[in-house]
Amino acid sequence: MLSTVRNICVIGLGSMGMGAAQSCIRAGLNTWGADLNPTALETLRQAGGRDAQPAAHDFAAELDAVLLLVVNAQQVRAILFGDNGLAASLKPGTVVMISSTISAADAQAFAQQLAEHQLVMLDAPVSGGAAKAATGDMTVMASGSDDAFARLQPVLDAIAAKVYRVGTEIGLGSTVKIIHQLLAGVHIAVGAEAMALAARAGIPLATMYDVVTNAAGNSWMFENRMQHVVDGDYSPKSAVDIFVKDLNLVAETAKSLHFPLPLASTALNMFTEASNAGYGREDDSAVIKIFSGITLPQAKGEA
């Protein structure tokens, strides 16, 4: 077995990727970053990153591991196997931890392609949002070989409060995350529905939010996302279009298992309607904007 990793590159320095990269730096790992956003690159350099560039090729030979926290399977595929794909530049034995929310079938295909380059994969989706990423307290639901887990232990210790080893078969980690996203998406959608009804009934939304978060109807997603509605702040922490993508993965998983999902199907329709109405890049709590006949709070300073 190869030794545990010391040199890691985080690809995708959004809210969760940046938190993961900074957690790796705090843990004493030699950390590089890659992202198309120049501001994110500079932020990571200032935080103590060894280097940060639009692509990881310049430092690929130094890496023991790569952590991908990009939006979807298409981005993973393009980064690893597209024109000038990174997989061909990594030294044999490098561990590739894919933490994007993707289908089990895509995870299995990526593992097979990586193996052709003598690279090891951990199927390791994450949850916890930007706040837990920033403190190194994400939840990781992962599947892969004992070797992959052992070598990535320093990275997992750095970024996660909880690591669930779902099994050795690639795809199991992704399936657990997809089922989790069913709950997350439905919770946001039903939270929006409840707050929309409160608005229609003339209940102050700050009051409704306070009641729910101190009573039995609360959920983590309600408490986190409906605060955005109360504040009238739809700057994206996680966008509407992310849940269009994730709930479509839920639907495809259910279709492959010939299994009905009535609530998830409704939530998918709600997020799709919000995206279609032009809110796709706003925070996912903007799904509440599909309800007509109500007045929502506006951010301070807005007319």
Burial of 72 (0-12, 13-18, 19+ CB in 10 A): middle
Architecture of the domain delimited by 175-290: Orthogonal Bundle (1.10)
Q: Look at the block and give the residue holding tokens 């006949």.
A: 293
Q: Which of 223, 219, 267 is nearest to 245 (CA)?
A: 267
Dihedral of alpha carbons 146, 148, 151, 152, sign = negative
Quick check: 37 and 55 in contact, CB under 8 A? no
The string of pLDDT tens digits covering residues 166-203 is 999 999 999 999 999 999 999 999 999 999 999 999 99
Determine the angle formed by the axes of helices 104-116 and 172-200, rounding to 10 degrees. 140
Whole-number average pLDDT of the chain = 96
Instruction: Give the pair of three-digit tokens for residue 280.
Output: 């796709």
Say what the pLDDT of residue 37 is. Answer: 97
Integer Cα distance of 101 and 114 in angstroms: 18
The string of pLDDT tens digits covering residues 215-231 is 999 999 999 999 999 99
| Beta-strand relationship, 95-98 and 65-68 | parallel
- Across residues 233-243, what is the average pLDDT? 94
Percentage, residues of the chain above pLDDT 70: 98
First to last CA, the chain: 62
Within the chain, residue ranges assigned H as helices are 15-26, 38-46, 73-81, 104-116, 129-134, 146-151, 153-159, 172-200, 205-213, 220-231, 240-256, 262-274
- Active site members: 177
Determine the angle formed by the axes of helices 172-200 and 240-256, rounding to 10 degrees. 130
Domain ranges of the chain: 7-170, 175-290
CATH of domain 7-170: 3.40.50.720
Question: Where residue 277 falls among pLDDT bands split at 50, 70, 90?
Answer: very high
Q: Which of 5, 6, 11 is nearest to 44 (CA)?
A: 11
Q: How far is CA 2 from the centre of its chain?
A: 29
Instruction: Quote the pTM value.
Output: 0.93
Say what the pLDDT of residue 1 is. Answer: 52
